[in-house]
Amino acid sequence: MNKDFAFRPFFHGDQRVRRIDQILANLGYCSRREARGWVEKGHVTVRGALADDPGQKAHPSDVLVDGEPLDHPEGLLLLLHKPLGLVCSHDIREGPTVYDLLPVRWRQRNPVVTSIGRLDKETSGLLLLTDQTPLVHRLTSPKHKVPKIYVATVDRDLAPDLAGVFAAGNLLLEGEKEPCAPAELRLRGPRVAEVTLTEGRYHQVRRMFAATGSTVLTLHRERFGGLDLGGLNPGQWRELPLDAFSA
Ligand code: URA
């Protein structure tokens, strides 16, 4: 773990007390209009008492539908093994998305479940997904220098001095004015490199290799901060506690 990436207490989860119809709509159960019908038909209880007003304010954790607690009422934080061929955009015109892997109800949440940073369509590996907007901002901010480890295979043997070039902090990507922050590169084989980045520019790994004369053939993210994929297969995810990034 990069010592610059300081863990610190972080307010997490949606703890807000709000209208029952809003809670159910925000958690992807139904529309607010439908939620009103559910309340009128007696499907909803708050702290054990039948709710009779959809405008009644409640804490999401206190609400049951047909006797069942709500689905992740405080929020979601997921660690996904992103397979190749899926995009991180929500725009389905760009092709199948990582969100297609999730249960429909999670896809209907508001705030939406979104990725913390992005991986290209043809990059696999560790991707975090959450509906916690402040967490997205915090973990993608270059200020926080969260280390991310990628493994790239390239089309030619890598020069031994490439580690120095990546570490120097003066590598300019095509079309950019600010050089990349220093990055760590370790050779795992003549054409295989492990690269640790603390920023997340567009296509950054591919463009760093392009700027130094090689083409990335495959790219996989192994780690994000202190997290790795564990035994997850492509397309599988595991849930993380919402305070996974707190002190
Ligand atoms: N760098 C890339 O080039 N692509 C990714 O998906 C992530 C980092």
Query: What are the pLDDT digits (tens) for 61-100?
Result: 999 999 999 999 999 999 999 999 999 999 999 999 999 9
Q: 223 alpha carbon to ligand 1 midpoint, in Å?
A: 13
The DSSP secondary-structure symbol of 168 reads T
Rg (CA), the chain: 22
Closest C-alpha residue for ligand 1 atom 3: 203
Choice among 21, 120, 155, 161 that is catalytic = 120
Residue 166 CA to residue 121 CA, distance in Å, equals 24
What are the structural domains, with CATH classification, of the chain?
Answer: 18-69 (3.10.290.10), 77-141+228-239 (3.30.70.580), 147-224 (3.30.70.1560)
Tokens of 210: 């392009």
What's the 244 CA to ligand 1 centre distance in angstroms?
A: 24
Determine the pLDDT at residue 3.
38
Q: Which atom of ligand 1 is nearest to the CA of 203?
A: 3
H helix or E strand, kind and range, residue 207: helix 204-211
Span from the CA of 107 to the centroid of ligand 1 (angstroms) = 24
Nearest protein Cα to ligand 1, atom 7: 119
How many Cα atoms occupy the beta-carbon half-sphere of 2 within 13 Å? 19
Model confidence, pTM = 0.92
State the DSSP string of 46-108.
ETTEEP--TT-EE-GGGEEETTEEPSSTT--EEEEEEPTT-BSSS-GGGSSBGGGGS-HHHHT
d(CA 69, CA 113): 20
Phi-psi domain of 152 (left: phi exceeds 0; alpha: psi -120 through 50; beta: other): beta
Q: How far apart are CA 195 and CA 221, in angstroms?
A: 9
Higher local confidence (pLDDT), 7 or 24: 24
In this predicted model, what pLDDT tens digit does every residue of 194-231 receive, in sequence order?
A: 999 999 999 999 999 999 999 999 999 999 999 999 99
Q: For residues 233 and 246, is the Cβ–Cβ distance under 8 A? A: no
Look at residue 14 in the predicted model and tell me its pLDDT: 56
Burial of 190 (0-12, 13-18, 19+ CB in 10 A): exposed
Which of 126, 146, 206, 214 maximizes ligand 1 atoms within 8 Å of its Cβ, making it the mutation to test the pocket?
206
Residues with CB under 6 A from ligand 1: 119-120, 123, 203-206, 219
Could you tell me the CA-to-CA distances from 151 to 30, 117, 154, 237 in Å, in that order? 42, 17, 10, 20
Run of H or E including 185: strand 184-189
Active site residue 14: no
pLDDT in tens, 102-155: 999 999 999 999 999 999 999 999 999 999 999 999 999 888 899 999 999 999
